[in-house]
Structures are given as C-alpha cells and as structure tokens.
Structure 1
Amino acid sequence: MYEGFWYDSVFGVGVLWAHENFRARSDDILLATFPKCGTTWLKALMFAIKNRNDHCKYSINPLLTTNPHNCVPYIELQVHENNPTAYLDSLPSPRLLSTHSSYNSLPKSSIKAGIKVVSISRGPKDVFVSWWMFCNNLRAQQYSLPPLSIEDAFESFYEGVCLSGPYWDFVLGYWKASLDCPDTVLFLKYEDMKRDTIHNVKKLAEFMGYPFTLEEEKRGAVKDIIKLCSIENLSNLEVNKSGVYNVGSQTRTNVPNNVFFRRGEVGDSENHLTPEMIERFDHIMKQKLKGSGLDFSCNH
C-alpha cells in the first residue's frame, strides 16, 4: 500500500519510482485510469486523435499492427527496464503517457509542470466484473492457476484490496481535481462515452489541444477514428488476437493482448452479480460519494 492505495509488486515499485524520478514536460498528456475503466479504448482514441494528420490513411495507422498499450506507455512500468528514463526521454513532444496511479501519487514533476490529465471512470459493478474476468484470464493464460471465485474476488474488491484500490477513493481523487483544475484535468465517464461517442470524442480532442475542424467533421474524420478504435475492430486485429504485451524486460512477463478486450458493454455486470452484491455496491458507493457531486446511480 502507498498513500492509501493498493498496488501489486509490478506497478507498486513503479509508482514509487515515478513519483520521485519521472521528468515531466509541460506539454505532456497523461491518461490516468483505474484498471478496467476503458483504458485500452481511451489509449486508442487519444493516440488516433493526436496522430490523425500523420496517419491520415486508415490502412497505415499503427493501431492496426500495435496494441494501444504500446502506443501510450505506462510511466510506472519503465522502472522494469534497464534504463528507466531512456525510453520516455526519447519520445518526441508532446508525449502521450498513461498511469494507474492515484491522483495524490502522481509524479511530483507532473503536477509542477501543469500537464494535462485525462481520467475515465466507470460504474463500479462493471469495473469489478471486468477486473475479475481479466484476473482469471491472466491466471489461466499466464500462470496456469485456477480461477478466483466471484465471491472471493468481490470481497477483495469491496475492501479495496486490488490494483489502485479502493476504487471509490481513486475516482474521487480525479473527480475533485477536475473540479478544482478544469483546464488541466478532464474527467470522463465510460457510460457517457458509449452513449454519445461523437460528442465526447470531440470534447476529448478539444481538451487535448487537437480539436477537429469543421472540414474534418464534414469528411467524417471523427466517425473514422471512432470506428478504428472500437472494441469490435481492435479485438479482431491479428496483433490483439495473438500478440503479447511485454510488461518490462526485467519482469519477463508477457501479457496476451487478447485479455485487454472483452465485451465493453454497459450493464453486463448484472448478468454475473448476485442481488446481495448489487445491493452492497449501491450502498457503499452512495456512502463514499455522498456530497461529492459524483453519481453513478444511473450507471451500472
């Protein structure tokens, strides 16, 4: 645990390292997410938005042959390379980066530099079910371990004992930061992104400093990016069906790219949770978010 949040051995050492050693640039754009809130989708969208003029032809876009996690690297995972700062320092500005760090654990230099931070949240029930299935996919494919029961996984998540947990404290940190610093912190909801993708992608592009021109909108650039970055399209690409994501050369851990993709649907969690689990989720979120202005009651 670090500053009130749980991290595993892989991310934990990286969060500590990045907090003190990451060298931010004022034009960095950082995607900060709790796991399973739409990270892969947002990475793809942000990469496509930023680089749309360099890869205007759909057929040559790097996302067709590269997993989004390689396009938008995690800051904290660089600690597992032989030279932790070399790769990040080599990236041309403005850099697109990502983190699973809580707001109060972000690198000191990023706050000082005033970088732009994008955070996306998601209804906790869907987050939990996606996290549980992700863990079990990893256990089966990477470690040949038996699956976690949904009951055991639920108790861990409910107690906040999961990567970047407790969930409610994590999202509240970025929610409050977005209210205090709206020019530098954008808070998105996964459900809103799914409900009105065009509007929210344009909002995201505007915040990033890459707004769509009227001409681009007329020729369908926004819709093209949404299509390219859809879960349906990304999950069916060969790189994401058979490729692997290297967590870090020193970890010797390769995560199958296919575990980053599931259904991506809103409300699917209710097909897996018991009525008691749903009631407990509703109760604790109401308790934790009371008075904050953040509400997931209309989401799952």
Structure 2
Amino acid sequence: MNRNRQRLIEVLENAFSQSEKIPPEDMVFSYRGILYPSTLSSPETFEALKSFEARSDDVILAGYPKTGNNWLSEIVKELESADAKYTEEEMEERINAEKKLQTFPCLEFGDPGIYERMKKLPSRRIIVTHLPPHLLPPSILQNKAKILALVRNPKDTAVSYYHFYNNLPLVPSFPSWNEYFAAFMNGKLTWGSYFDHLVEWNKYINHESIMMISYEELKENQVLGMKKIADFFGFSLCEEDFHIIAKNTSFQAMKEKSKETHGKFGDILFRKGVVGNWRDLFSAAQNEEMDRKFEDSLGGTKLAAKIKYDVYCKA
C-alpha cells in the first residue's frame, strides 16, 4: 500500500526520539505568523520552498491536518499505480529515489536541501501538503500542476486534530478539550486557522487546475469519489480496479495494517475514521460558537455547499 513504508517509519521514529529532548515551548516555530513542528521543518525550509520547481504532471494533494490526508494519499497512490502499471524495475527506481529524500513525505517538511533532492524523483510525483494555496510555491500554479484539495467539516476536524495533538509527541499537548477548542477557534495550532485555510481555498474553487473534494463525500461513496479523482488527473482504470482499491483503502483495512505501514505512528494516526464524532465533545455553547464562526467566514460560499455544513454540523 505504501511505496516506501520503512523510510516513513524511520523518519517518524527519529522525529519522536528528537522530541523527547525538546521542551514544549521549543516544539513549534512560527513562520509568517503560523506555527509548525520544529522537528519536521524550519523557517529556512519554508524560505527554500519558494524556489520549489513544480512539474505540470505533478499530482498535488492538499488538506489541513486531520481532514483525511493520509487516506486520500493512499487512495491516489493506488489509483496512479493502477493507471501507470509500473514494472518491478520502475517501481524499484521510484522507491530508491524516495529513500534519498530522507524526510517525511510532506512538501513543507525536511531540511532546506529537500527541494533539490526532489528534482531527482521520477514523474509522476505525488506530493502531499497541508498548506493553503497562498502559501504554496508559485511554480505549482504557474506550471499548471493539478491540485486536489481535501476539505472536511470543521467540527469533526477539530475533534480529530485534538486527539492527534494530544497523542503526537512532536507538538505540545493541551490539558483539556476546552483549552484546545479555544486554540482551534483562534488559529493557535500548527498550520494555523482551519477557517482561514477554508477561506483561502474558496477563492480557488473554480480554478481550472484545482478540484475540491470532501472527506464526507468520499465516505458516502468512495468508488464514485475515486472516479471523480481519476477523471481529474487523467487516470484510466477499469471498473474492477476501483472496487479493489476501495477495499484496500477502507479505514478498517488501513488501520489493520497500520503497524506495518506506519509503525508506532499508526496508533496515533488511525482513530475512528467516522463522520459526526464531534457530538461526543462539543458543548452547546461551543456548537453555537462554531456555527457563528463558520457562517461569518464561509456562509453562502460554494465551499460551504461542498462541505454540507447544515447536513453534518447541525446538532
């Protein structure tokens, strides 16, 4: 399922080991007013990111943390591999090239030299990022690389990110849900405000090189969602391929293999994978506060319609 499982596990476990020696206040750094994990990136890396050279056939997957990025990336890798029909030699070449990156597979992670090493990756490169469009390197839009932007209803995102934050040793944890909720609403988490993230993506909802897909629509009908993704990227698969990939990338299938694919990180990454879990933690006041925030930020927009806020976020 994962092209280079061992590399991913080694990088993560090394980051976990480093974090044990870091005081909470040094676990994150600020770049352009937004926090990021210091064990995975640096301000110098973000400066170097500006010079990243995108290719027109790059497959860019973008989504705020805990909106389903890992799930989507596995789906797209499976779709791309089924379309490309790599020989064993070609797949070995790709795996060896990815090994040399020496970082977690996310665009904004690594040392400043990561982007030079990425030039040696064979096409098609599948690139994952948590950044909104205005923080992506200019070459991505200039070179017309296609971007699949993933969104998820903000209430489930908040709850999923809360559990992730408090179980991930790379970022400082929160003593209570209430304190975390205030930080989420004010954008005081790594990758900043999810509302700002959505507002920025809404500006690009009609862009010819960008497609929006929601976590919820993939949960509703994964095969239909995958067909939309394949059509957007120009992947050609038979009907049977879609059903096989849906089975291999179901939440349960991925969770069962998480030790193999993600090591210790698997227990942190795969929790419930459901829609509507926000009801377990939100108070009535918090529910109303987020409803107001969402309406003020995105009420009446096409992205709000895509998220189906009234369907998934109303008590």
Say if 2:133 and 2:201, in contact at 8 Å, map to a contact too: yes
Say if 1:3 and 1:105, in contact at 8 Å, map to a contact too: no
5+ residue gaps, structure 2, are 1-29, 95-101
Establish whether residue 73 from structure 1 lines up as the match of residue 98 from structure 2.
Answer: no
Establish whether residue 229 from structure 1 lines up as the match of residue 249 from structure 2.
Answer: yes
The equivalent of 1:24 in structure 2 is 54
The equivalent of 2:10 in structure 1 is none
Distance 1:290 1:176, change over 3 A: same
Q: CA deviation at 1:178?
A: 2.3
Residue deviations 1:178-232 (CA, integer Å, cap 9, x gap): 21x1x310111111111121111100111111033xxx11xx2111101111111
The equivalent of 1:150 in structure 2 is 177
Q: Which amino acid aligns with 1:170?
A: H
Q: Which amino acid aligns with 2:147?
A: V
Distance 1:55 1:227, change over 3 A: farther
The equivalent of 1:187 in structure 2 is 212
Given candidates 135, 151, 156, the residue that maps to 1:126 is 156
The equivalent of 1:205 in structure 2 is 230
Distance 1:85 1:146, change over 3 A: closer
Q: Which amino acid aligns with 2:108?
A: E
SS at match of 1:186: strand
Give the count of matched residue pairs.
Answer: 270
Q: Which amino acid aligns with 1:54?
A: K
Q: Quote the Cα distance in structure 2 between the aligned partners of 1:115 and 1:132.
A: 32
Residue deviations 1:239-291 (CA, integer Å, cap 9, x gap): 457615xxxxxxxxxxx233111111000111122111111111110111024
Q: CA deviation at 1:47?
A: 0.3
5+ residue gaps, structure 1, are 63-69, 245-255
Say if 2:205 and 2:303, in contact at 8 Å, map to a contact too: no
The equivalent of 1:115 in structure 2 is 145
Distance 1:12 1:159, change over 3 A: farther
Say if 2:174 and 2:180, in contact at 8 Å, map to a contact too: no
Q: CA deviation at 1:45?
A: 0.4
Q: Quote the Cα distance in structure 1 between the aligned partners of 2:151 and 2:184.
A: 16
The equivalent of 1:277 in structure 2 is 286
Q: Quote the Cα distance in structure 1 between the aligned partners of 2:289 and 2:41.
A: 28
Establish whether residue 88 from structure 1 lines up as the match of residue 88 from structure 2.
Answer: no
TM-score, normalisation: structure 2: 0.77
What value does the CA root-mean-square deviation take over the aligned residues? 3.0
Q: Which amino acid aligns with 1:155?
A: A
Q: Which amino acid aligns with 2:135?
A: S
Distance 1:7 1:157, change over 3 A: same
Q: CA deviation at 1:86?
A: 4.2
TM-score, normalisation: structure 1: 0.80
Q: Which amino acid aligns with 1:163?
A: T
Percentage of pairs with the same residue: 27
Distance 1:222 1:108, change over 3 A: same
The equivalent of 1:176 in structure 2 is 203
